[in-house]
Structure 1
């Protein structure tokens, strides 16, 4: 059962410019299907007013106030499933949310995402999380993953990050929505990227990183029961 933090803030309105219709491509295999969703087709909550349009969304990661982690797979009493609403309202987290499902969807296996991203600092991480959002707005995490970007890629250059998320078996009930979070970290579950190339255990300087997500080339593929 998901555990709720003591305080919670609403997500607020979705920018009208970020609303686009669904587009679904399904490649079927015996007994299973792989459902691919382009994130630009879903509702996006921009971290800053005016930061979202039909093409890109940006957020800035600051290691001095690193994006926190709620739950997930770790050896801690803080592991597991939590209501992620407090994280999803932060300025350093990008959120995409589907429309509510008309019928239940069983996700069984390893979700995969290809994120089209550019960063203004080559020393950067990319954290991705999937959540199940119920009718009351509780956003419960069930799979995530993180990738350290290649520092040899020139700052500002667009790159595709391919990432397998946690293996999972999750039923998205009818009336629920699927939510995708994208951020520059998840501390303290994962060590902060200082943004300088220094080792995190004894680095002395930090640098912020602006992540730009290119919607149309960012694709989430879900292993769903046929």
Structure 2
């Protein structure tokens, strides 16, 4: 399985994502610049955290128009696996690949610490290695992580089981304690916490490992199924 880690001006978690793929699941991974116009060689795409374009205008609002995002949209349509983390989540909502938006934390402060998440959906390709309801420790680092959507969208998220993670102790005022969601198809996931920073006990938690092993398993299962046909 080959991964692309997108890099925007101001990205600062691209190396973390790269190393998480390389060290956790040992798969090929490349950095891909925001001007790229072809992602066809990749099976998984990671949109990392940071402060793309300095968070000017609005978090992710400028990155949403980068040439590579046209290719991300194509990859999503093709069913490829896409994970947006922190600023990457914000970019995916700005691009319309995930519903809702991310607002300023209700405290109006940047929050940077470990947080406990509950796995709400373990049938998603990114979470199959977790148990339903499992509580995991994943760090956060954001000032605009307050997830919001309208009532109709929230109803759809619940109906389609698109709420992937919730906070056990909400750090930012996020609606219904939402920490991560997927698109309706389940192949695009966005989350504010950083699983790539929780892949080794030296970091204080290795609970993020299962996200990477889950996606590799999903990709292998898909390809084995296709080969049988």
- TM-score tier by shorter-chain length is under 0.3
Comparing both structures, which one devotes a greater share of its residues to strand?
A: 1
Comparing both structures, which one devotes a greater share of its residues to helix?
A: 2
User: TM-score normalised to the size of structure 1?
Assistant: 0.26
* Structure of greater relative contact order (alpha carbons < 8 Å, 6+ residues apart): 1
Structure whose CA Rg is larger: 1
